[in-house]
Structure 1
Amino acid sequence: MRFLRYFWTKIATKLKTLLDRHQLHITLQRLAHQLVENHLDFSETAIIGLQPRGVYFSDRIISILKDITGNNDIVYGRLDFTFYRDDLHKDKGLQAPDRTDINFEIEGKRVVLLDDVLHTGRTTRAAMDALLDFGRPREVELMTLIDRRFSRELPIQPDYTGLSVDTLFEQKVKVLWKEKDGKDEVVLL
């Protein structure tokens, strides 16, 4: 029992809150308003959340967009890109894909990809490869809640960013969502 208390004390002292619940709410509101400024009525736009954790982010953004615009017909989907990853077979065992839910035409649309954390850029590259199997969008934009800007391995930059953080490569940024983790918070491990 003492070991567990010691272990959790050590873990708790190594966590740094980057965004608390209130700050996360404000950031999500700002990002949604930026989308409204650039896409107006969303008639030519499709919002796509990247599986797995970008979906929680995109669900929140879609909800806020509907509140702001009153438009309940915003085109929204979810994309799994598991089999497009370049590290698919690297020491991760069997990969179980999530569900892709894109039941609309993306040909000629402005597509906004949403993911919670942008780190090396490899996730975004894999997602764009998977997206092209559904058609050729007119434009692709990227929205990330957290941009770990100095750890990029590929020349990918977000169009919309909630928070840019400077981290060491071995550090981890974890976005906690109430729906999945029981609370809303962004922490640095």
Structure 2
Amino acid sequence: MEKSNRVILDAKQFDLTIKRLAHQLIENHNNFTDTVILGMQPRGLFLANRIQAELLAINKKYKVQVGSLDTTFYRDDYRRQDNPLIPSKTQVDFIIEDKKVVLIDDVLFTGRSVRAGLDAMLAFGRPSKVELLVLINRRYERDLPIQAKYIGKNVHSVTSERVEVSWVENEGEDKVILYTPAND
């Protein structure tokens, strides 16, 4: 039973956060000629597609390519699962060799998913630079020395708490909630 939940981002804040992240990318990548975006499956791809759409809404010349990365078999815990894992689709229809790659995920917590994403990405070439963009950065519980360059919102949480990102494409609405378990 959940003790409390707190909305971290409502739909309006969610939209503003995506707009801000897109503008930060523009500041650092100018015209995106040497930049590609890789969304980590499954939920990082929602954010990657939203970022791409926002960039195009700002200026039609920002035609940044977006691909999707599945990290299932690159995870350090995939053999420890009781049930077989069902991978998502990886689709990278472009060259990342010597490109700037913006790796995107919805939540950064321990860093293990991002590490797996970096390993999966290397199967498609060696980029000149990799930057991490996340909607939510859960601080204080990192297992690996991984840090995002672009952060939608920092959340100060403990291991027992849970952050849930809802996407209009999947759950019917955009919002982020922090769940705190009951102390029963």
Q: Same fold (TM over 0.5)?
A: yes
Computed over aligned residues only, the root mean square deviation of the Cα atoms, in angstroms, reads 1.1
Deviation per residue, 1:90-120 (Å, 9 max, x gap): 2341101111110100000000001000000
- Give 5+ residue unaligned stretches, structure 2: 180-184
Distance in 1 (CA, whole Å) between partners of 2:104 and 2:82 is 24
- Equivalent AA in structure 1 for residue 75 of structure 2: R
More strand by share: 2
- 2:75 equivalent to 1:85: yes
**Structure number with larger C-alpha Rg:** 1
Give the TM-score of the pair, scaled to structure 1.
Answer: 0.92
- The amino acid of 2:172's aligned partner reads G
1:116 aligns with 2:106: yes
SS at match of 2:90: coil
Residue matched to 1:105? 95
> Percent identity of the aligned residues?
46
Cα distance in 2 for residues equivalent to 1:177 and 1:73: 23
Shift of 1:71: 2.4
Which of 117, 130, 152 is equivalent to 1:162?
152
Deviation at 1:14, TM superposition (A): 2.1
Distance 1:24 1:73 in 2: 23
Q: CA deviation at 1:76?
A: 1.1
Report what 1:67 is aligned to. Answer: 57
Deviation at 1:68, TM superposition (A): 1.0
- The equivalences for 1:1-150 within 5 A come to 11=2, 14-71=4-61, 73-150=63-140
Stretches of 4+ aligned residues off by more than 6 angstroms: none
Match in the other structure for 2:182:
none
**How many residues get paired?**
179
1:72 to 1:159, Cα distance in 2 relative to 1, 3 A: closer
- Partner of 1:152: helix, strand, or coil? coil
